[in-house]
Amino acid sequence: MQVFLIRHPRPLIGAGICYGRLDVDCENPLPVATRLRARLPEGTPVVSSPLRRARRLAEALDPGARIDERLSEIDFGAWEGQPWNDIERDALDAWAADVLDFTPPGGESVAHLRGRALAFAASLRGPHVALVTHAGILRALLGHWRQLPLAEWTQLKFDFGSLTEVEIALDPGNRI
């Protein structure tokens, strides 16, 4: 199966602000959609995070794009909308010490994000699909498919409006 991993356009939020699940808008998605559409095979289904910054690009690529909550970015809970510099240093150090299982107050862990991303991936069918989502989801999926260790997949970089193409094998039951 051919999977096109697409990161949303640049969000319209100040630099240095924690915005995981925060539903912020993005720069104009039309130029990004025009550029990316040429790289997608005709009739490629598009599935998107429900967050505006992803959904707007998905709908520009395909007005019939399907929305799936499991493609939402990580929920940083009480940290959402806060400048990173205002978050307690001890909390950030605790997260750095346990990247996979640390949970911000009222939020979710990277392990939980990975679990929902992989649950979504297990539902994929067909010869190709485009996923319009967020860096956290893209890292979890690509890290899983490439069998990368935690320290590598959590550091993967995806530019805003980028497309990463991946070929994955489906098992006989059409499951990843």
CATH code of the domain covering residue 22: 3.40.50.1240
Residue 4's H or E segment, with its range, is strand 2-7
Cα 143 to the center of its chain, rounded Å: 12
DSSP string, 45-93: -EEE-SSHHHHHHHHHH-TT-EE-GGGSPP--GGGTTSBGGGS-HHHHH
Span 70-89, pLDDT tens digits: 999 999 999 999 999 999 99
- What's the pLDDT band for 174 if we cut at 50, 70, 90? very low
Query: Does 174 map to a domain?
Result: no
How does DSSP classify residue 132? E
Separation of alpha carbons 73 and 60, rounded Å: 20
Query: Does 142 map to a domain?
Result: yes
Query: Does 128 map to a domain?
Result: yes
Domain count of the chain? Answer: 1
pTM more than 0.75: yes
Q: What range does the domain containing 134 cover?
A: 2-167
Residue 117: HSE in the Cβ half-sphere, 13 Å Cα cutoff: 25
Query: Does 60 map to a domain?
Result: yes
